[in-house]
Amino acid sequence: MTTSKQISRESLNALQARLQGAIIAPGDPGYDSARMAWNLSVQQFPAAVIMAADTADVAEAVRFARQAGLKVGVQATGHNVIRPADGSLLINTSQMAGVSVDAAARTARIEAGAQWGAVLAKTQAAGLAPLLGSSPGVGAVAYTLGGGLGWLARKYGLAADTARSFEVVTADGRTLHVSQNENADLFWGLRGGGGGFALVTAMEIDLFPVTTIFGGNLVYPAALAGEVLRRYREWIGSLPLEFTTSVALMNLPPLPMVPEFLRGKSVIMVRGCHCGAPEEGQALLQPWLDWQAPVANLFHPMPFSDVAQVSNDPHDPVPGHTTGAWLRDLSDSVLDTLVEYGVSNNGSSPLVSTEVRHVAGAMASGDRNAAAFPGRDQSFLLGAVGMAPTPELHARVVAFSNTFKRALQPHISGLYVNFVEGQEAREAAADSYPPETLQRLAALKAQYDPDHLLDYSYQFITGHDVA
């Protein structure tokens, strides 16, 4: 496949002379790995990839794209490619991965390409924790721009609420500091509205004093799924905010990366992370153990630095499709639909994981006027993931996920932008926001990027009319 726009080698050479990082263009060795995303199902063919080394590189690349008539894409890891960067100048931030911690102020400054795992390591060394999500391989910045709900969500809330400031490069190549006091409109939009208004080069976030958790999974056979889901619904009603939990229907592939006792099996897992005293977490889990011995009880006290063990998300790149939604209730009808679509009987479901996270808690008390994030009153977050190693399987997972979500439609109360990707994210992200927030976000785009140069976001922001 060729790019829709070719840039001359001379102009790229001239740009290279102004950059610290490398430019990788079609035909160069390394182009095929530079254009890849963590999600291997994504195929994108940028006009060139800029491996940005610093903010000056990002600003230079944005100005170059404007002059060359190219759109701009940006990628830290490629966990959530909203619009493939076909024919665009793709700014890859993975080398801008600096993290510094101010232990006294309980803050961290995080560059655009840093992954949560690196942030976690640095902050835990200072006895502090960021509000990372389930996977340490996810980019900290884009996660935060979408809201950001992880294993401390009920107690400490949204990652977006922890952002104190952003450093950005705007579509006209300026660098701006963005906070409650400077460019406050942009600060509001970047906290939950995604990154389509300006390219974030770094952010400063608040940290929390969490070093030990009681976390893990109880594994039950999928045959008990209906009963486990009903017990889960009851159980969470009595849990304190220290306990963030989820319930996940898993159809585990017969692969070496899966523990042997789970390989090729369908199971239901009750997951959780309790950030209070471990013995309190243990006592709160006891009703499950009194009810029925699980196939495995993987809960134990652990350093927060090991929190990735709770979800055990894949670290290495995989081909997949993710979808999700806020669920307004866990009625019997919802639970039956989860079992119908989430448990695979002889290959009936191509989903690997169908998880409902219980997220009600601290995010509800965040300042509603301070951030564009629209989901503060939501309680239940559905995420469904299927593996898709071929285009045919990808199409099957997408079609199945769409049917699943149609079956749940009466109970869906909106989308969480971090849990939708690709075409669904482009076309349906507007369903995430109330009309007045949509209007305000569109006005921000018009103010900061009237020519729609930054082309990597949702359709209502980029103004695209093509899927």
Ligand X SMILES: Cc1cc2nc3c(=O)[nH]c(=O)nc-3n(C[C@H](O)[C@H](O)[C@H](O)COP(=O)(O)OP(=O)(O)OC[C@H]3O[C@@H](n4cnc5c(N)ncnc54)[C@H](O)[C@@H]3O)c2cc1C
CB of 236 to ligand X, least distance (A): 18
CA-to-CA distance for 108 and 104, rounded, in angstroms? 11
Answer for which of 25, 48, 112, 384 binds ligand X (CB under 6 A) is 112
Answer for which of 285, 456, 460, 462 binds ligand X (CB under 6 A) is 456
The residue to which tokens 């009194």 are assigned = 290
Stretch that binds ligand X, among 68-76, 235-243, 267-275, 302-310 (CB under 6 A): 68-76
- Pair 131, 148: CB distance under 8 Å: yes
| Residue-by-residue DSSP string for 252-272 | --S-TTS-GGGTT-EEEEEEE
What separation in angstroms does the CA of 111 have from each of 126, 142, 183? 19, 11, 19
Answer for which of 107, 123, 135, 165 binds ligand X (CB under 6 A) is 135
CB of 368 to ligand X, least distance (A): 19
The token pair at 464 is: 């695209």
Answer for which of 24, 59, 82, 308 binds ligand X (CB under 6 A) is 82
The token pair at 98 is: 């600096």
Give the residue with the Cβ less far from ligand X, 148 or 361.
148
CB of 311 to ligand X, least distance (A): 7
| 459 in contact with ligand X (CB under 6 A) | no
Rounded to 10 degrees, what is the CA torsion of 124, 130, 133, 134? Answer: 10
CA-to-CA distance for 155 and 434, rounded, in angstroms? 26
CA-to-CA distance for 412 and 273, rounded, in angstroms? 25
Answer for which of 87, 139, 193, 374 binds ligand X (CB under 6 A) is 139
Give the residue with the Cβ less far from ligand X, 15 or 417.
417
Binding mask 144-163 for ligand X (x = CB under 6 A): --xxxxx-------------
Q: Which among 458, 432, 437, 331 has a CA at the least distance from the CA of 378?
A: 432
| 200 in contact with ligand X (CB under 6 A) | yes
Binding mask 3-42 for ligand X (x = CB under 6 A): ----------------------------------------
As beta bridge partners, residue 109 has: 100, 204
CB of 283 to ligand X, least distance (A): 26
| 93 in contact with ligand X (CB under 6 A) | yes
DSSP-derived 3-state class of residue 193: coil
**408 φψ region: left (φ > 0), alpha (ψ -120 to 50), beta (else):** alpha
CB of 142 to ligand X, least distance (A): 3
CA-to-CA distance for 75 and 354, rounded, in angstroms? 26
Stretch that binds ligand X, among 1-9, 140-148, 288-296, 302-310 (CB under 6 A): 140-148
CB of 21 to ligand X, least distance (A): 14
Environment class of 260 (CB within 10 Å of its CB; exposed 0-12, middle 13-18, buried 19+): exposed
Give the residue with the Cβ less far from ligand X, 160 or 339.
160
CB of 42 to ligand X, least distance (A): 8
| 78 in contact with ligand X (CB under 6 A) | yes
CA-to-CA distance for 358 and 159, rounded, in angstroms? 16
Stretch that binds ligand X, among 59-67, 142-150, 170-178, 428-436 (CB under 6 A): 142-150
| 313 in contact with ligand X (CB under 6 A) | yes
Other residues' Cβ atoms within 10 Å of the Cβ of residue 364: 16
Binding mask 263-302 for ligand X (x = CB under 6 A): ----------------------------------------
Give the residue with the Cβ less far from ligand X, 157 or 294.
157
The token pair at 414 is: 């909106």
- Pair 143, 418: CB distance under 8 Å: yes
The footprint of ligand X (CB under 6 A) covers 74-82, 93, 112, 133-135, 138-139, 141-143, 146-150, 195, 199-200, 313, 322, 418, 456
